[in-house]
Chain A
Amino acid sequence: MSHKKANLFTYDHPTCHNFSANAHEALLDKNLQTQLSRITREGFQQKRFDAIHRLDEGEFDLLRDRAQEIKTDALANLDVYLERFEQNVTAAGGKVHWAASANDAREIILKICQDANAKTVTKGKSMVSEEIGLNQYLEQNGMRPVETDLGEYILQLRDEPPSHIIAPAFHLAKSEVEDVFRRHHGDLDPARDISQPAQLLNEARQVLRGDFISADVGITGANMLVAETGTALIVTNEGNGDLTQSLPPVHIALSSIEKIVPTLEDASTLLRVLARSATGQDVTVYTTFFTGPARPADLDGPKEFHLVLLDNGRSKTLGSEFSEALRCIRCGACMNHCPVFGSVGGHAYGWVYPGPIGSVLTPLMVGIDEAHTLPDASTLCGRCQAVCPVRIPLPELLRRHRVKSFTAGKAGWLTRVGLRLWSFVASRPKLYHAIASFKVRAWKIISGKRGYISYVPFIGGWTNTRDMPSPQGKTFMDLWKQKNK
């Protein structure tokens, strides 16, 4: 029984093309708006700010400069670092699998699960697994994947995709969580009180214990891959990722090729900016560096270790004008500070990665035909770039997408005609000046004594909720000429 909204995307059915309608619906969703308001007030923005100010003045910017340098170096030497990483994983007794496409990654993972005679597969939170639609695929092939991150678990029960890359269920009210727990945990006492977050957490903890213990395979993501030692790492707060990777006999880590860093020192620098940018913690509760399977003398830990490395277009992006997007360490700061994301949430973007970085990545992954709406879903205000821990020039990358989609003929007729008209006028200074001075005089007269205009044709969406302040009656050029007389 699915209770999700009919228009929600899945990994293979994006709804980016519907951004306008999605956004409209999100703006009218009162519950979503309440949850969104928490991001700024007491949530991620404030916490990031506080974390940065627990460091000495200027230190965070020095860390960001270094973080940018590390990722730039890693990408500029990507093949040799990946080779080194693979050698070291193999030397530690693990196996690296290369997956060119989402489908390749799914097949590789299914094969490993089948070889292990797996039934129950526990999962730590992994955005790459969302990118490849892993859960659906495992289910279709007779496995029972169980999300163990609290937010992901709630979403799995609701059959919904995440709406944020680090806080996947932030769009839900606690009453909605209670609702879905009551529907799915049918064998528990119907009279129990689970109205509070702590009670909901406790219930999930109890229910998931059994799955942690009985799982045949554990799948986690990896936030970084360290070439020096063949080590991968995950950052978590709940501890579910560690139970997932230490209890079952087989551990699969699913990651993507751009997550590589050269050394443990480099990983440490990136960790100093990652949690501060994401949740506003100095460091997450658990940072786990894992290398290969259990050693012969170890008393626990997986007997088999597989690392699946996904490309899915990234190696092509490397040589493109969008290569800087590959620096992304998935902290979510850009979406937490984006006025558009803050108004419509993550689902409106219509695919796995929302917000500014999503609007850059999604067209590269699902194609510009589907996703040409996303680069337009930005005011290019630049807050995303200002907070990015690896200084990705997100507004510039969005602008490049706009140029590409315009050239490919994706813009509507109004935009095309408008731009052509504007460029015709703008390249003829006398004409431009004549029109501009007519316009400011006309607007001044129309607005009269009020000093504002309440409706302007073509920008009704803007003037519906705001008044257009009226111009003073003279253009800058007029004033300039007057002054120089």
Chain B
Amino acid sequence: MSLNKNMRSTIFKNISAALDAQGSKAAREQHASARINARVRGPIPNRGQKTGAALVDEFISEVIRVNGEIINLKSVAEIPAAVMTAAGQNAPHIRIAPHPILNAANWPAGPAEINSGPADPDDDVGVSIAEMGVGETGTLVLLSGPGSPVTINFLPDVHIVVLFSEDIVPTYEDAWDRIRKDNSGVSVMPRTVNWITGPSRTADIEQSILLGAHGPRRLVILLIDGKKTHTPD
């Protein structure tokens, strides 16, 4: 679209006019490349620097502070029963992410209908697997992909998320490092990286805080002791 090209060049001409007085564009390019490659961290608050058991404790207390729920599990075998308990009696439609761990789980035959795939509007409960948790603020990190459809995180009334304790990292920057490493050092992002901190809320009416706006009314974390293991299909 030539219109787009013209506007682009007008905008960039104005920007150069402002910046060229301070130095050349080549110098700016060099600076920008160096800065992006260095990926220097800003100041990390002390609460984002915990390790070991203190890190897991911090994650749990931060989740509870923002009205999330935590259920501790010993192994993946306990997932189906915990999901059924958390979902309660009034959840006829349960949606699970097509992730190897959930696919391999031993789901009960009823009474709830359990489907795998992206969410649809009838789903009462969605179950997904978190890539990581961040201790600093009790934040879950979910990456979209074939095993993690993003609609499950937002459409159902109740969102149940499986998280392994060894996937809890101290701070956001640690999460970025791991996402980059999983992509062989190159910053290739999935379509979405979702940070989720508690159930949805709003304060748009008279500044009073209400839980359960358009997203899930409840966020339940199934915290499994140990390391994420991919059960073979």
Which residues of A are in contact with B by a Cβ distance under 8 Å? 35, 38-39, 42-44, 55-56, 59, 62-63, 66-67, 70, 73, 76-82, 84, 92, 97-100, 104, 108, 148-151, 154, 167-170, 172-174, 177, 197-198, 200-201, 205, 208-209, 212-213, 227-231, 237-240, 242-243, 246-247, 257, 262-266, 268-269, 271-272, 279, 282-295, 297-301, 311, 315-316, 318-319, 323
Q: How far, in angstroms, from A230 to B66 measured CA to CA in the complex?
A: 30
Residue B198 CB within 8 A of the other chain = yes
Are A197 and B173 in contact (CB-based, < 8 A)?
no
Shortest beta-carbon distance from A81 to chain B in Å: 6
Are A78 and B15 in contact (CB-based, < 8 A)?
yes
Are A56 and B46 in contact (CB-based, < 8 A)?
yes
Question: Which of B34-42, B80-88, B162-170 forms contacts with chain A?
Answer: B34-42
Q: How far, in angstroms, from A433 to B50 measured CA to CA in the complex?
A: 65
Indicate whether A294 sits within 8 Å of B210 (C-beta atoms), given known contacts A79-B25, A263-B39, A283-B139: no
Return the CB mask of B31-55 against A: 1 if under 8 Å, else 0.
1100110011111011100000000
Interfacial chain B residues near A92, Cβ < 8 Å? 189
Taking CB as reference atom, which chain B residue is nearest A205?
B214
User: Which of B42, B155, B216 contacts A66 (CB under 8 A)?
Assistant: B42
Interfacial chain A residues near B145, Cβ < 8 Å? 295, 297-298
Are A264 and B176 in contact (CB-based, < 8 A)?
yes
User: Which of B22, B190, B192, B206 contacts A246 (CB under 8 A)?
Assistant: B192
Interfacial chain A residues near B155, Cβ < 8 Å? 243, 247
Are A286 and B36 in contact (CB-based, < 8 A)?
no
Are A79 and B28 in contact (CB-based, < 8 A)?
yes
Indicate whether A80 sits within 8 Å of B28 (C-beta atoms), given known contacts A238-B213, A299-B146: yes
Interfacial chain A residues near B173, Cβ < 8 Å? 265, 268
Q: How far, in angstroms, from A150 to B136 measured CA to CA in the complex?
A: 29
Are B10 and A292 in contact (CB-based, < 8 A)?
no
Are A298 and B149 in contact (CB-based, < 8 A)?
yes
Are A78 and B36 in contact (CB-based, < 8 A)?
no
Taking CB as reference atom, which chain B residue is nearest A270?
B42
Q: Which 10 pairs across A and B sit closest by C-beta, in order of nearness?
A: A239-B215, A319-B18, A269-B42, A315-B14, A238-B213, A151-B204, A300-B118, A287-B195, A98-B8, A239-B200
Are B121 and A167 in contact (CB-based, < 8 A)?
no
Q: How far, in angstroms, from A420 to B203 measured CA to CA in the complex?
A: 50
Return the CB mask of B186-211 against A: 1 if under 8 Å, else 0.
01111111111111111111111010
User: Which of A62, A108, A292 contacts B191 (CB under 8 A)?
Assistant: A292
Residue B107 CB within 8 A of the other chain = no
Interfacial chain B residues near A300, Cβ < 8 Å? 118-119, 149-151
Interfacial chain A residues near B200, Cβ < 8 Å? 237-239, 285-286
Interfacial chain B residues near A104, Cβ < 8 Å? 3, 7
Residue B103 CB within 8 A of the other chain = no
Interfacial chain B residues near A319, Cβ < 8 Å? 14, 17-19, 21
Given contacts A170-B206, A174-B205, A291-B190, 15 further A-B contacts (CB under 8 A): A56-B45, A73-B35, A78-B15, A98-B7, A99-B7, A100-B11, A197-B210, A208-B214, A229-B188, A239-B154, A246-B150, A246-B154, A268-B42, A272-B42, A288-B194
Q: How far, in angstroms, from A318 to B21 measured CA to CA in the complex?
A: 12
Interfacial chain B residues near A268, Cβ < 8 Å? 42, 172-173, 176
Residue B106 CB within 8 A of the other chain = no
Indicate whether A246 sits within 8 Å of B32 (C-beta atoms), given known contacts A288-B194, A295-B190: no
Q: Number of B residues contacting the other chain (C-beta, 8 Å)?
A: 80
Are B43 and A242 in contact (CB-based, < 8 A)?
no
Taking CB as reference atom, which chain B residue is nearest A59?
B45
Shortest beta-carbon distance from A74 to chain B in Å: 9
Are A77 and B215 in contact (CB-based, < 8 A)?
no
Indicate whether A297 sits within 8 Å of B146 (C-beta atoms), given known contacts A77-B31, A242-B154: yes
Q: How far, in angstroms, from A38 to B209 measured CA to CA in the complex?
A: 13
Q: How far, in angstroms, from A212 to B19 measured CA to CA in the complex?
A: 43
Are B150 and A301 in contact (CB-based, < 8 A)?
yes
Residue B98 CB within 8 A of the other chain = yes
Shortest beta-carbon distance from B43 to chain A in Å: 4
5 A-B interface contacts by CB (under 8 A) = A42-B207, A76-B28, A242-B194, A265-B40, A298-B146
Shortest beta-carbon distance from A56 to chain B in Å: 5
Interfacial chain A residues near B29, Cβ < 8 Å? 80
Are A227 and B15 in contact (CB-based, < 8 A)?
no
Are A290 and B191 in contact (CB-based, < 8 A)?
yes
Indicate whether A262 sits within 8 Å of B36 (C-beta atoms), given known contacts A242-B194, A318-B18, A319-B18: yes
Shortest beta-carbon distance from B23 to chain A in Å: 9
Q: How far, in angstroms, from A390 to B84 measured CA to CA in the complex?
A: 47
Indicate whether A265 sits within 8 Å of B42 (C-beta atoms), given known contacts A150-B204, A154-B204, A239-B213: yes
Residue B128 CB within 8 A of the other chain = no
Are B196 and A201 in contact (CB-based, < 8 A)?
no
Are A55 and B45 in contact (CB-based, < 8 A)?
yes
Are A283 and B137 in contact (CB-based, < 8 A)?
yes
Are B205 and A227 in contact (CB-based, < 8 A)?
no
User: Which of A167, A238, A323 contacts B215 (CB under 8 A)?
Assistant: A238
Indicate whether A237 sits within 8 Å of B36 (C-beta atoms), given known contacts A80-B29, A290-B192: no
Interfacial chain B residues near A100, Cβ < 8 Å? 7, 10-11
Are B144 and A301 in contact (CB-based, < 8 A)?
yes
User: Which of A59, A197, A272 contacts B208 (CB under 8 A)?
Assistant: A197
Q: How far, in angstroms, from A482 to B49 measured CA to CA in the complex?
A: 63
Interfacial chain A residues near B66, Cβ < 8 Å? 285
Are B28 and A169 in contact (CB-based, < 8 A)?
no
Are B22 and A286 in contact (CB-based, < 8 A)?
no
Taking CB as reference atom, which chain A residue is nearest B201?
A237
User: Which of B11, B47, B199 contacts A257 (CB under 8 A)?
Assistant: B11
Residue B117 CB within 8 A of the other chain = yes
Q: How far, in angstroms, from A293 to B207 measured CA to CA in the complex?
A: 35
Shortest beta-carbon distance from A85 to chain B in Å: 11
Interfacial chain A residues near B98, Cβ < 8 Å? 299
Are B144 and A285 in contact (CB-based, < 8 A)?
no
Taking CB as reference atom, which chain B residue is nearest A104?
B7
Are B191 and A150 in contact (CB-based, < 8 A)?
no
Are A240 and B28 in contact (CB-based, < 8 A)?
no
Shortest beta-carbon distance from B71 to chain A in Å: 20
Shortest beta-carbon distance from A256 to chain B in Å: 11
User: Which of A56, A167, A177, A285 contacts B197 (CB under 8 A)?
Assistant: A285
Taking CB as reference atom, which chain B residue is nearest A99?
B7
Are A265 and B39 in contact (CB-based, < 8 A)?
yes
Are B42 and A209 in contact (CB-based, < 8 A)?
no
Are B172 and A271 in contact (CB-based, < 8 A)?
yes
